[in-house]
Structure 1
């Protein structure tokens, strides 16, 4: 096959030369060595994309140029000689070609949603500060946390929970890796919560939970169970002692997250310790842990300051001793509340006779609020009060952000911030450089309440100003959050529309849907462009009813914004959208008509909707079985993808190539392409293609055919999770089909029926996918002897034009199976016709299935010679790629025919292998729930060499061991697998997924 065009994604070069894809870091020696030999590559970065070529100089030597088509013109940029091609140079060229102005000076970098990342300061424990109270009695309690899987520190605000836990972490030795995550209300979305949790662990143990990260990257809101399972498994495999702190958990009110965390805690490995701080009790089932003394708890009564601790704290804060009666009075009034003591210390600073000052602090909330307002805020200079009130609405802030929220003439925010921190006004630095800050939660709440009371018109204005500044710094998620709080829906929808096409190009369908559904319905309905992309995302993910409603809203919205410069493109865009919806509804002829009209109406410039219509046309070529035309079409679309930087185009092309490869019988190429699509799941730095779930189903199907059941089941379960998390019912259905087939091979008929029924139900609203799933269900019924159900399916199927070209579930071949069970003679003309069509269209991969069935049909009518001739053709083709289940799933009639083939010397090695595998007893499905541990690593190495035909002496040479040692390993392998020969051992190992 042709070598794929090298691609640079951000700062990583991805090479695919027909073997395993290779990644090279831009700027590394390997990168510059590769440039000396390369002729070109495509680049996709945060700020743009281009195609690079190496060109000769007139005076000798070579240099690199970048090309990109924009506004109908081919633009170019000089990159330089190979040594000049740094990551920064590539990014700068991409921005220039895209027409993006140079980045303005900005505060410390912070990640954004459009450039997926996390706020790193949430993953940092608070730094040690002067004036901290040493609390040795509580540190002794905390040291027991390493003996338990879970420790809770629960108390109201201001009791010193965070300070205590952070102090404990600093006492731990280097043999314990400690991670930190500060939570807030925005983390109530399960995907976000678990993404941050995994990121916190990766701060101290890089790479841990990478599979979970990949699963979360494509997750639909709330659907994170597979990722949590993957994380538990990763922690179980981690050799390090790990402690993770979840700070401020009281902000997490999501029942889903609490249930997921309960499951997570249940299966924590012994070397992992979780510490949670919260103002409220957790909604977790803790009784079992308490009963087994596996739960540590520190409560408000434990955290209350004793008289001695209060005296020590006040001495630290005031720099002097207070009389015992004053200390007693403060402890009594604050009830040992640390924050109350701190507030009291601030209020009495500078007083000539502080011990005589009455302290108006009580245990009731009203008194606490009054105290903070009257005795803290009111004591500050006017410009400090103004600063505190106007910045309290921010979850985090830096000086440049604060500057835009203050009125003209106010002191510079940086100097005010320095004063606020020096005055210890409940401000918390979020990084070591002290650039980003937040307020103590309680203090922030009081300030927000005060602002609403005194200036009710200001909060919306402040939120709007903050949103504008954050948007300018590319902090899109935070900008949209402030738009929400300001209820500035017009601005919010304009910003979402600004990003939505790029999100679609990158395949970020779940983000498009999430943002659209945050808007009030009336606002959403009036926005043409947003509804176009919203409808497309919904349709691609199988939400057809919602997609149709959004499409109708887009059509109605054409009455608005008549001055929109893109107005002329709307008819073509609506036709393109209609083609996408029609294709997912199974109305193929209409889809082609709509797509054709869209291509006529839309100009040949960058447009994801034009690409969508083009993709529909390509899919139709494949559905009609035109393999060569499909391949040529796909090669052209890869050029489009490289030019437009469209990840969704890459994903579609790659997925369709797998289908084509399987149809053509190029199984090795299909495996390679599927693995290429799935590779990002193991590298959290790479985006996960939206087609990953379908690629998993296809690769799992191939593994199933090769009797690698463990790999097939594991991969199909993973693919199901990917589909579940992005809301793709198609991906869930097709992975369920593979799971059902594996269970049937295991002999678990009931579980197989349940999984297959579930697959059919998932795609009940998607006509084509529904019929494919039903075709597989009919085959399963035949395997289980349910002829009545199969005949009912046949009656229904014959009422519609048949689906032939799908790699999976070809309806004519399912009909042939039913005929074989009732009247084999009826199957022969149908199969002869299918054989001729497959050869004509180049669908050689489907000939194995066709010919296996045709051989059975000839045998059933007594044409034994023809049966063996056709079977010989099928076996010769299947042996190359170890395709076995096509034959074995046909049951005893095929086994009888294989025995006759063996007696005639037809494909003797492969036939013997098939019969050996068939003779193995069904393996319980439960055995596949975990990786097999039957064989040691060395035994597996020996078995792999046996499988490729090496004799004992050659194995000894390969592994640098004695021949007698090889014999010992083989004896152990035979015993563990319950076999008596090398051939049986290899067959059993393949059956058990050990090879």
Structure 2
């Protein structure tokens, strides 16, 4: 969630009343609790001065002490609460190791408690890393929130809260939290009605602040008995007595001291006594919980809004003034209810228009749509979501968008192709393919009934992707044939071209895939929507197809440029794709670096589960090329068991067979024994009738049965185009040449090399060739081949053998001639990824100088968000927990850039 879109008033603490009466006993007890307890609860009905008491303590806190104030609203869920808390903590430069915005999104996307536990763990670690001696987090008006996920989040936070922080909760009712443990451990301080109610002496002090009222002193005991020391009730009584010239109509009220009807009755006395202009202004403003001159003027149309707010505060009406740059008032909830009731009676026809005006000044598109829905303006709410949809999805707010869409009336929702399509894309971003397909089928039908041709074609284009994802390729192919004769909108044409590519890929038609994806890239060039780029993101397996990898690399470079440095979930996917393209191009160090960047993105953006599978598939080959057998085995185990819980039996068999194919290749590269290869081969589905099995050929070679292996590999070569996936075609040619050579069939071996080696530089497929491994490449490079193999091809074999040996740290073979120029093109080992970059060093020096994130951002001309990311990288690389520790490390290591 974008913190800048949150209402600033949700994180601004209240301003202490200048005329508040002294309450030394309450203030001392609350001050001590804030210093020493894990949890402080203020639980009492409305008007008991909970916020006022906290405001007094806030004003007395040491300047600079961390205070995070979170005002809760009815529509807050765990996501919004976490995002708001992140915004409230922003000024204190906590050492986040994952982006708090992304953690908030993870809460929305997760199903079950996994996302909540992960988000709270990161929050707690950031709080623990604060260099402040003590901090306070206040959650005001918890009673407003019904979401059980919010209470679960608070329970988890309080349970793991570091000792240098205190959580304060203000509520009208006892919160649904596990309080017994903290109460038993003396870690909970509770302030209820008895602690908050006024004494007679305090009531006299309150009366002394009012204009003189004859007879009030004599009536104070009666008023105290009637209100039971309820501060708001006392103020209402004083105001009512003034307004009725001494006639106190308390007898009309029920005797229950805190009955809602008492407040409503007395509040009506206050409202009725206002000047008519102020009355109408406040009644119309009731659709806003927070009033500023700008928002109130926009909603009410009153040009004197600023003066009205000044008068409201001067009259001491039931509002809380926030500590903001401009006058900002929060209406007391009960008072706002009374005003809204008056609004419905006095201006019933104006309510929808007032809500629309309130929506117009709301910055958060999701809340704007909610106000429009409340006002019954379904079309405007839909238009708001359409405008914001791409950005919301790019930020990872698919679940939040889906919840607002679900609030539309069913009749409107079911007949709106745009709402159905947006909801489908949200489900796509959450990997719910079946649900996506069902929604798009409904969207297609709704668009057809409306006669909306453009929407129909876009929904059909998206439906192609959904059907391909759930294995309904025949339906996808049939719909593509239907669309071929139609004039399609640009987005629909892009989606159709991408779907055609996927069908070519599934059929093993890799030449057609290359041409098709080239067409997709041409269409993408005209697309302004970054979401459209993400929607046609190629699978990571495409990077290993000769000729397609270069297109995937182009796609990544352009998509990252369009991201403009924004830290979006999409970036992790793009860096993972870059790691794959670098692997198959033979730039193994770059592959490792890009994979590390993808992992860092995934960790920072809380997206690790979504790309870890793709990264493991890249890293298992990178690790195998480096000869790191233990790492390979660990990654294969993670991949093999990845879908154990959720997958259907058919999907599970497919997945394990896919992993088995990767395992045999990686372990063969490592030189594993035949028994190990055979165990993995048993998990792989047998080749179809009439098709040779590359795994069987590998196994024969591992057993040293060279004559049979040569026969098996020779039978494979005519079928190599169907094995091009993940860089296998060139490797199989090289392994076939090796087996044929060992079997004494050198002429056929040379012919295999003649077919394969020219493709290596043509397709930038050095990584494909390196997969043959150092033993195979060394044997091939040392062979005195005949004239059919060109000098350039022989030089390439030598360079590949040297590179393969170097990756494992082995002694390189002596070249047969001067080192060829092609060797220089093969990359050398890069700087360790654990070292600090130049920019990270600059940030670290600024931290040591005591600069805040904002000051660092200003000095280095980068965003504060980017500074937070650099701080996380610095702490991760140096294995530290706080900014203070990082500063101390720099002082101890003034001339180094890595630990």
Tell me, yes or no, whether TM beats 0.5: yes
- Please say if residues 464 and 488 of structure 1, whose CA atoms lie closer than 8 Å, have aligned partners that are also in contact: no
**Residue 153 of structure 1: which of 33, 36, 42 is its match?**
42
1:688 aligns with 2:568: yes
1:187 aligns with 2:81: no
Match of 1:581 in 2: 466
- Please say if residues 150 and 294 of structure 1, whose CA atoms lie closer than 8 Å, have aligned partners that are also in contact: yes
Match of 1:425 in 2: 317
TM-score, length-normalised on structure 2?
A: 0.68
**Residue 121 of structure 2: which of 229, 244, 253 is its match?**
229
Match of 1:640 in 2: 526
Deviation at 1:255, TM superposition (A): 1.9
**SS at 1:601's partner residue?**
coil
Q: Deviations over 1:147-174 (max 9, x none)?
A: 4443333322222222222221221223
Match of 1:759 in 2: 643
- Please say if residues 70 and 140 of structure 2, whose CA atoms lie closer than 8 Å, have aligned partners that are also in contact: yes
Match of 1:328 in 2: 221
1:444 aligns with 2:332: no
Once the two structures are superposed, the pairs formed by residues 476-875 of structure 1 within 5 Å of their partners are: 476-489=365-378, 491-493=380-382, 495-497=384-386, 509-510=398-399, 512-539=401-428, 541-558=430-447, 560-562=449-451, 567-569=452-454, 572-588=457-473, 591=476, 594-595=479-480, 598=483, 600-602=485-487, 607-617=490-500, 624-626=509-511, 629=515, 632-633=518-519, 635-641=521-527, 645-651=528-534, 655-656=537-538, 663=545, 686=566, 688-690=568-570, 692-693=572-573, 695-696=575-576, 699=579, 719=602, 731=611, 734=614, 756-759=640-643, 771=654, 774-776=657-659, 791=682, 793-795=684-686, 798=688, 845-846=727-728, 850=732
Deviation at 1:534, TM superposition (A): 3.5
**Residue 341 of structure 1: which of 234, 243, 246 is its match?**
234
Deviation at 1:523, TM superposition (A): 1.9
What is the alpha-carbon distance in structure 2 between the residues aligned to residue 817 and residue 688 of structure 1? 42
Deviation at 1:379, TM superposition (A): 3.8
User: Residues 114 and 288 (structure 1 numbering): CA distance in 2 closer, same or farther, change over 3 Å?
Assistant: closer
- Please say if residues 467 and 482 of structure 1, whose CA atoms lie closer than 8 Å, have aligned partners that are also in contact: yes
- Please say if residues 573 and 598 of structure 2, whose CA atoms lie closer than 8 Å, have aligned partners that are also in contact: no
Match of 2:89 in 1: 201
TM-score, length-normalised on structure 1?
A: 0.62
Q: Deviations over 1:555-578 (max 9, x none)?
A: 33246445xxxx443554354233
User: Residues 209 and 896 (structure 1 numbering): CA distance in 2 closer, same or farther, change over 3 Å?
Assistant: closer
What is the alpha-carbon distance in structure 1 between the residues aligned to residue 742 and residue 163 of structure 2? 61
Match of 1:368 in 2: 262
What is the alpha-carbon distance in structure 2 between the residues aligned to residue 200 and residue 608 of structure 1? 39
Once the two structures are superposed, the pairs formed by residues 15-34 of structure 1 within 5 Å of their partners are: none
Q: Deviations over 1:299-340 (max 9, x none)?
A: 332222233333223323446898665443333332232222
**SS at 1:151's partner residue?**
strand
User: Residues 115 and 215 (structure 1 numbering): CA distance in 2 closer, same or farther, change over 3 Å?
Assistant: closer
User: Residues 235 and 756 (structure 1 numbering): CA distance in 2 closer, same or farther, change over 3 Å?
Assistant: farther
Deviation at 1:731, TM superposition (A): 4.9
- Please say if residues 852 and 870 of structure 1, whose CA atoms lie closer than 8 Å, have aligned partners that are also in contact: yes
User: Residues 264 and 865 (structure 1 numbering): CA distance in 2 closer, same or farther, change over 3 Å?
Assistant: farther
What is the alpha-carbon distance in structure 1 between the residues aligned to residue 768 and residue 496 of structure 2? 38
**Aligned pair count?**
776
What is the alpha-carbon distance in structure 2 between the residues aligned to residue 753 and residue 843 of structure 1? 22
User: Residues 270 and 902 (structure 1 numbering): CA distance in 2 closer, same or farther, change over 3 Å?
Assistant: farther
What is the alpha-carbon distance in structure 1 between the residues aligned to residue 714 and residue 207 of structure 2? 94
**Residue 167 of structure 2: which of 253, 266, 274 is its match?**
274
User: Residues 301 and 634 (structure 1 numbering): CA distance in 2 closer, same or farther, change over 3 Å?
Assistant: same
Which stretch shifts more, 626-635 or 331-340? 626-635
- Please say if residues 159 and 339 of structure 1, whose CA atoms lie closer than 8 Å, have aligned partners that are also in contact: yes
Deviation at 1:262, TM superposition (A): 2.6
**SS at 1:125's partner residue?**
coil
- Please say if residues 778 and 793 of structure 1, whose CA atoms lie closer than 8 Å, have aligned partners that are also in contact: yes
- Please say if residues 404 and 466 of structure 1, whose CA atoms lie closer than 8 Å, have aligned partners that are also in contact: no
What is the alpha-carbon distance in structure 2 between the residues aligned to residue 669 and residue 239 of structure 1? 48
Q: Deviations over 1:505-531 (max 9, x none)?
A: 998755553433222333222123333
1:168 aligns with 2:42: no
User: Residues 579 and 349 (structure 1 numbering): CA distance in 2 closer, same or farther, change over 3 Å?
Assistant: same
User: Residues 552 and 666 (structure 1 numbering): CA distance in 2 closer, same or farther, change over 3 Å?
Assistant: closer
What is the alpha-carbon distance in structure 1 between the residues aligned to residue 619 and residue 175 of structure 2? 37
Deviation at 1:775, TM superposition (A): 0.6
Once the two structures are superposed, the pairs formed by residues 343-492 of structure 1 within 5 Å of their partners are: 343-349=236-242, 362-382=256-276, 384-398=278-292, 415-430=307-322, 432=324, 434=326, 437-449=329-341, 454=345, 458=348, 462-468=351-357, 470-471=359-360, 476-489=365-378, 491-492=380-381
Deviation at 1:201, TM superposition (A): 0.8
Deviation at 1:124, TM superposition (A): 0.8
- Please say if residues 424 and 440 of structure 2, whose CA atoms lie closer than 8 Å, have aligned partners that are also in contact: yes
Unmatched runs of 5 consecutive residues or more in structure 2: 668-674, 784-797, 812-831, 837-897
Q: Deviations over 1:535-570 (max 9, x none)?
A: 4543465433323332332333246445xxxx4435
User: Residues 780 and 151 (structure 1 numbering): CA distance in 2 closer, same or farther, change over 3 Å?
Assistant: farther
User: Residues 233 and 333 (structure 1 numbering): CA distance in 2 closer, same or farther, change over 3 Å?
Assistant: same
Which stretch shifts more, 822-831 or 290-299? 822-831
**Residue 257 of structure 1: which of 133, 139, 150 is its match?**
150
User: Residues 813 and 395 (structure 1 numbering): CA distance in 2 closer, same or farther, change over 3 Å?
Assistant: farther
**SS at 2:643's partner residue?**
helix
What is the alpha-carbon distance in structure 1 between the residues aligned to residue 558 and residue 462 of structure 2? 29
What is the alpha-carbon distance in structure 2 between the residues aligned to residue 676 and residue 230 of structure 1? 32
- Which one has a larger percent strand, Structure 1 or Structure 2? 1
What is the alpha-carbon distance in structure 2 between the residues aligned to residue 668 and residue 558 of structure 1? 38
Q: Deviations over 1:60-83 (max 9, x none)?
A: xxxxxxxxxxxxxxxxxxxxxxxx
Which stretch shifts more, 582-591 or 273-282? 582-591
**SS at 1:425's partner residue?**
coil
What is the alpha-carbon distance in structure 2 between the residues aligned to residue 911 and residue 616 of structure 1? 41
Match of 2:100 in 1: 212
**Residue 132 of structure 2: which of 224, 233, 240 is its match?**
240
User: Residues 510 and 546 (structure 1 numbering): CA distance in 2 closer, same or farther, change over 3 Å?
Assistant: same
- Please say if residues 151 and 296 of structure 1, whose CA atoms lie closer than 8 Å, have aligned partners that are also in contact: yes
What is the alpha-carbon distance in structure 1 between the residues aligned to residue 743 and residue 333 of structure 2? 82
User: Residues 378 and 476 (structure 1 numbering): CA distance in 2 closer, same or farther, change over 3 Å?
Assistant: same
Which stretch shifts more, 552-561 or 273-282? 552-561
Deviation at 1:286, TM superposition (A): 3.7
Match of 1:297 in 2: 190
Larger relative contact order (Cα-Cα within 8 Å, sequence gap ≥ 6) = 2
What is the alpha-carbon distance in structure 2 between the residues aligned to residue 327 and residue 560 of structure 1? 71
What is the alpha-carbon distance in structure 1 between the residues aligned to residue 388 and residue 835 of structure 2? 51
**SS at 1:184's partner residue?**
coil
1:285 aligns with 2:147: no
What is the alpha-carbon distance in structure 2 between the residues aligned to residue 269 and residue 391 of structure 1? 41
Match of 1:308 in 2: 201
**Residue 178 of structure 1: which of 63, 67, 74 is its match?**
67
User: Residues 239 and 155 (structure 1 numbering): CA distance in 2 closer, same or farther, change over 3 Å?
Assistant: same
- Please say if residues 599 and 610 of structure 1, whose CA atoms lie closer than 8 Å, have aligned partners that are also in contact: no
User: Residues 443 and 465 (structure 1 numbering): CA distance in 2 closer, same or farther, change over 3 Å?
Assistant: closer
Deviation at 1:716, TM superposition (A): 5.5
